[in-house]
Amino acid sequence: MGLDEVGRGCLCGPVVAAGVIFEAGFEPNIKIRDSKAISLKERKELSDEIKKTAKSWIIQSCTPKEIDNLNILQASIKAMINCAEKSEVEPDYLLVDGNRYTSSVIPYSCIIKGDDKSASIAAASILAKVYRDDLMKKLHEEYPCFGWDSNVGYPTQTHLKALEKYGYTKYHRLSFNLRTDQPFKLPVDAE
């Protein structure tokens, strides 16, 4: 199973991990690569194709509260562990993007820049990113002032200015530097 996560650098929303297993010897007809290196349209198309062709796929996440309680690295690892443990197909080996994991009953290898070296890790990267981006765009409807439809929770100027002006929401990670300690409230002139 290839494992990857997205959303570690965001100020809000969950950290999302995905796990993908392809059949032995699987050769994709399409170029599966790091989700950050492809367009939104291509990611969505690849996500659909991966779901159809993978032997197994799973998406798991940790909430902002879990991130605050564990820290972002441990929450990322927890989401990946949940992928491996909750999968309907028990993986016999894990390929983990990056340089950190945790001791596991399932043997594993950490692969730095794994999404450029492993089709299953790259596929996991794509599934996790599409899922998380779609979720953040839905949350944008509730709090449009933060610009989550385009920044998906990352610390852009729009996001940071809205934090300073309106405060944080229930979706923000309070253990991160949000530049405010005020809960969300519309200013009087906006009401």
Query: Is there a single domain that holds both residue 106 and residue 166?
Result: no
Tell me phi and psi for residue 16, to 5 degrees.
-120, 135
Q: Look at the chain and report how many structural domains it folds into.
A: 2
Query: Is there a single domain that holds both residue 11 and residue 61?
Result: yes
Query: Is there a single domain that holds both residue 129 and residue 147?
Result: no
User: In 7-147, which ranges are E strands?
Assistant: 15-21, 56-62, 94-97, 108-111
In a domain, 189, yes or no: no
Query: Is there a single domain that holds both residue 6 and residue 61?
Result: yes
165-182 pLDDT, tens digit each = 999 999 999 999 999 999
In a domain, 84, yes or no: yes
In a domain, 190, yes or no: no
Averaged pLDDT for residues 100-107: 88
| Residue keyed to tokens 């765009």 | 137
In a domain, 187, yes or no: no
Instruction: Give the mean pLDDT of the chain.
Output: 92
Task: Kindly calculate the radius of gyration of the chain based on its CA atoms and give it in whole angstroms.
Answer: 17
104-152 pLDDT, tens digit each = 889 999 999 998 899 999 999 999 999 999 999 999 999 999 999 999 9
Q: Which residues make Cβ contacts (< 8 Å) with residue 144, sequence separation at least 6?
A: none
Burial 21-33 (b: 16+ CB within 10 A, else e): bbeeeeebeeebb
User: In 63-112, which ranges are E strands?
Assistant: 94-97, 108-111
pTM of the model: 0.92
Q: Are 159 and 146 in contact (CB under 8 A)?
A: yes
Query: Is there a single domain that holds both residue 7 and residue 33?
Result: yes
Query: Is there a single domain that holds both residue 127 and residue 155?
Result: no
Averaged pLDDT for residues 62-80: 97
Question: What is the residue range of 154's domain?
Answer: 142-181
In a domain, 27, yes or no: yes
